[in-house]
Every structure is written in C-alpha cells, then in structure tokens.
Chain A
C-alpha cells in the first residue's frame, strides 16, 4: 500500500499545477505599468479635433481610461456595461479610440451610444504603445496622483466591474 503513496503524491502535485495553470488566462500579461505614473501624451479629441486631451488634465480625480476601437469586436461585448458604468457616474470615463479612423469611431458611438465623457483619438496607435496596449479593449484605473492602479485587458464583465473595478474606485476616491 505504501508503495502507492509516492506516485499518488506526485500525481496530486501535477493535478494541482495543471488546475492552476489551465485556469489562468494565457492572454493576461501582468502589466509593468501598474503602480507607475500614467504615461503622458497629448492628442486631439475624437469628436472635437480642435480640443486636446492629456492625462495631466485629470490630476486630482480618480478616472478610468478605456481603450477601444470601431474594428474591435469584443469592445461591443463590454459596451453595455460601460454605458451602465457611465450612467452611475462613479468616475469620469475617458475613451481612447485606438488605431481607428475618426469617421468609423464616431459612427460606432452614434450607433451604439457613447458612454464616454469624451474620447481621445489615437489614430496611429502611438499612445497605445506607451500604455502597452496589446489587446483592445483595455481599461486602466488611474488615481488622483496620476498613477495607474489597475489594468484590465479584454472586455469587462459584470463580475470584474462589481468585484474589482467599482471597489477599487471607491477605495481610491477615499484616499
């Protein structure tokens, strides 16, 4: 009987590793930007090209930066949640229209509703590179001091919104 303990233990360890490994999302790459100041940029806004936006404008506020694009299919998946989030007015929600054309971006907002306070326009994706964007949609939570406190890659789910994003914003607003 004792003979079986060692292989059994090894098997249990292996199953443990697989259970953890296979349940993790291989696309979720930990961002080195969390805890660092949000990279500075200054780009034109999407709807009003005459106006610019820079993250420094938001100092003193807890805000959410959502990277989206009209060509991005999974952005449509999270869109209703963003609309809901905007309606609750928890924090300013600013979009970054990534590698898109103005017409396509604006058309999407007209058709499915605009949850953003406004969107900045990053047509050539330069800002996206500074933020380490690799899979749109991506969502960043930035605190009052301009530090990135959380990054979510991929569409937001209601679970992520309830369990991670909203509590974090509440906490950051208090500090």
Chain B
C-alpha cells in the first residue's frame, strides 16, 4: 500500500514537472486566460458536446483565433458573446438567455418537479384516508400473543 502511494506520488511529481516545462501557448497569458474563460462557456458547433475551449476541431481552432483577435482589440465579454451569437445563434451558448423560446428549457424542469411533488402529495393524502385503523378482535389478539410466545421460547 505504502509503495503504491509512493509510486503515485512520484507519478504526480513527474506530471507536475512536465506541466511546468510546457511552453506557453501564446505570447500573452492574460489573453489566453480570458480566451479560456469565454470559450469554456461556448459550444463547439462541429463536435457539439465539446466546449469551444476543449475542441480540436478545425472550426474551433479558427474561432479561438478569431476570439483572440477580438480580445486583443479590447472587446468586452458582451461584445464577444454578441459576435458569436450573431453568427451561430443562441445554440453556441451553454447558458442560453431566458426568453419566450427558451422558457420551456429554463422552467420545464421546475414545472416537472412541482407537478411531481403535487402528484406525490395527492397520492399520500389519498392513501392516508384509505388506510383505516382496524383493531384486532379478541380472538385475533389471543392468536397473536400465542405466536409471540412461541417465538420467545
């Protein structure tokens, strides 16, 4: 166990060392940092389950280059978002804006939950009414006691 732990530690150290050696992606780390923050919130259109930050698709590469230029031009986050949305639609945003066409998307889960809770409460109430307390008759009581005694022995 101890050896496993040590070897894992060693492996981690190697990985850390490797990470330190990696060359910076671009000359300006501040731009890269903002690029990552922005592009992680955007969907790559070619491989739709990847973010723009993580995709290696050609188009994602081009779009990151384009966003990099916009950042360097000093555009605000809102302007950059607008650049993307005007070309690819709300679909590129992982958090689409709340508007009539996305109400179902945003509020649907809550509506379903409320409906589910309401159904559960209604069901529980109905059941509580149906299950009646019926006391045992004297004869049943005797049988029950006899059975319990049997178990005790």
Which residues 89-124 of B sit at the A interface, judged by CB distance below 8 A? 89-91
The interface residues of chain B lying within 8 Å CB-to-CB of A29 are: 45, 88-89, 91
**B88 touching A132 by the CB < 8 A rule?**
yes
What's the least CB distance linking B84 to chain A, in Å? 9
Which residues 49-77 of B sit at the A interface, judged by CB distance below 8 A? 58-59, 62-63, 66
The total of Cβ contacts below 8 Å across the A-B interface reads 40
The interface residues of chain B lying within 8 Å CB-to-CB of A133 are: 59
Provide the bound-state CA to CA distance between A131 and B88, in Å. Answer: 8
Known: A29-B45, A134-B46. Is A129-B89 also a contact (CB below 8 A)?
A: no
The interface residues of chain B lying within 8 Å CB-to-CB of A124 are: 62
**A130 touching B87 by the CB < 8 A rule?**
yes
**A30 touching B62 by the CB < 8 A rule?**
no
The interface residues of chain A lying within 8 Å CB-to-CB of B87 are: 32-33, 129-132
Provide the bound-state CA to CA distance between A125 and B60, in Å. Answer: 12
**B85 touching A32 by the CB < 8 A rule?**
yes
**A129 touching B48 by the CB < 8 A rule?**
no
Provide the bound-state CA to CA distance between A124 and B63, in Å. Answer: 11
Provide the bound-state CA to CA distance between A125 and B63, in Å. Answer: 10
Which residues 93-129 of A sit at the B interface, judged by CB distance below 8 A? 99, 124-125, 128-129
The interface residues of chain B lying within 8 Å CB-to-CB of A125 are: 59, 62
Interface residues of chain B: helix, strand, loop or mixed (majority):
helix
The answer, yes or no, to whether B137 is at the interface (CB within 8 Å) is no
**B46 touching A135 by the CB < 8 A rule?**
yes
Least CB separation from B83: chain A residue:
A129
The interface residues of chain B lying within 8 Å CB-to-CB of A99 are: 58, 62
Least CB separation from B46: chain A residue:
A134
The answer, yes or no, to whether B86 is at the interface (CB within 8 Å) is yes
The interface residues of chain A lying within 8 Å CB-to-CB of B88 are: 29, 31-32, 132, 134
The interface residues of chain A lying within 8 Å CB-to-CB of B59 are: 125, 133-134
Least CB separation from B60: chain A residue:
A134
What's the least CB distance linking B26 to chain A, in Å? 18
The answer, yes or no, to whether A21 is at the interface (CB within 8 Å) is no
**B45 touching A30 by the CB < 8 A rule?**
no
Known: A99-B58, A134-B46. Is A129-B91 also a contact (CB below 8 A)?
A: no
The interface residues of chain B lying within 8 Å CB-to-CB of A134 are: 45-46, 59, 88
Residue A31 contacts which of B46, B58, B63, B89 (CB distance < 8 angstroms)? B89
- Beyond contacts A32-B87, A134-B45: 16 other A-B pairs, Cβ-Cβ < 8 A, are A26-B48, A27-B48, A29-B91, A30-B89, A32-B86, A32-B88, A32-B89, A32-B90, A33-B86, A125-B62, A128-B62, A131-B87, A132-B87, A133-B59, A134-B59, A135-B45
Partner-B contacts on A (CB < 8 A): 26-27, 29-33, 99, 124-125, 128-135
